[in-house]
Amino acid sequence: MAPPKLYQRNFDLVASTRGDAVTFAGRGRKPFTLEQVDAAQFSRVLQLLARPVARRELLAEVDGDTLDGLVEAGVIVEGTEAELLERRRPPPATRPCRHLVVGVTGAVNAVHVVSMLPLLYHHFCDRLDVVFTESALRFVNPQAMSYFGIGCWTDAFAPRGEVNVPHIHLARSAELVVVMPASAASLQRFASGACSDLLSLVVAATRAPVAVAPSMNQAMWASPAVQRNVQQLRADGFHIIEPGLALEVSDRHEAQPEHGGMGLSAFTVVEALSALLPEVRARPRPAAARGRRSRR
């Protein structure tokens, strides 16, 4: 017997209610509005549709013609329970990385990385620690991340609990280290081995794979000095996440997309970092192996 068809809200559409109307908007779609709608009732229907629900349960709130019209308009999605749950992208039962260390440097894209960190914590890694450079603190507030259960680090010399040397603690336990965004200055520190802050100490001390996602304007990325540092990092075994398109913030409204922006986004970061893990490891590790360095 085929599994029954269920219904769920299309989470790719944003709904806004007012008075007796509901407006829907989504990427790649023209906004459209439903008129003469009980906005409060429709809000209850959207709450009901946060999970897969049977047709008979929905018919207690809306009539059949309205329901079919909402499905046709793409506001409501119809499918099996498995199909609908897949659209919700629930956190996986097991995550590919046990411990991810993210370095955030003082490039303007740091403001976008903040929204990616909870996504990584719930979908990619069991444990997430983030190291902020001094210049990154001009763009982000680490305390906000701590509310999600994410470890935040800024000081190479500040013990925390049983951790008396932060960079060794993070370097040894990390399975993957990712610097996003990586400023031109941080690329120079990593390429030269300058252990001048907590992040560069972690990068120098770890045996885990290290990836950097450079972020700067097109002229800086193309400069010979930056390219020498990038080439040295490639030769040293770093993964370079090649830049994508971004707007030059100094040009404000006149800005045009140019090459040099961070090549990761909330839509790609989980898949991109998963591809950097050298293999899918058996879980859990034996107790004796916990805390040891991963050797590749």
Of 82, 97, 98, 75, give the one whose Cα is nearest residue 22. Answer: 75
Cβ-based neighbours of 125, under 8 Å, separated by 6 or more: 95, 96, 97, 98, 99, 100, 175
Short-list 229, 220, 224, CA closest to 258: 220
The share of the chain scoring above pLDDT 70, in percent, equals 91
247 confidence band (pLDDT: 50, 70, 90):
low
Report whether CATH 3.90.930.60 matches the domain 6-88: yes
> Is the distance from CB of 70 to CB of 7 less than 8 angstroms?
no
| Residues 138-180 pLDDT 10s | 999 998 888 899 999 999 999 898 999 999 999 999 999 999 9
Q: Domain boundaries in the chain?
A: 6-88, 97-289
Amino acid at 85: L
Structure tokens at 154: 């800024």
Q: What is the mean pLDDT of the chain?
A: 88
Q: What is the largest CA-CA distance in the chain?
A: 68
- CA atoms of 75 and 224, how far apart (whole Å): 51
Residue with more model confidence, 104 or 279: 104
DSSP 209: -
Q: Of residues 1 and 208, which shows the higher confidence score? A: 208
Cα–Cα distance measured from residue 212 to residue 178, given in angstroms and rounded to the nearest whole number: 6
According to DSSP, residue 222 is labeled: H
55-78 pLDDT, tens digit each:
999 999 889 998 999 999 999 999
**Residue 294 pLDDT exceeds 80:** no
Query: Helices in the chain by DSSP H: which ranges?
Result: 39-48, 55-58, 64-72, 81-88, 110-123, 142-146, 166-173, 184-192, 198-205, 218-222, 224-235, 269-276
SS3 for 131?
strand
Neighbours of 180 (CB within 10 A): 27
Instruction: Return d(Cα 4, Cα 232) in angstroms, integer.
Output: 57
**Cβ atoms of residues 163 and 134 within 8 Å:** no
- Alpha helices (runs of H) in 49-141, residue ranges in sequence order: 55-58, 64-72, 81-88, 110-123
Cα gap 172→17, rounded to integer Å: 51
Distance CA 238, CA 230 (A): 9
* Amino acid in the structure at residue 139: F
The CATH class of the 97-289 domain is: alpha beta
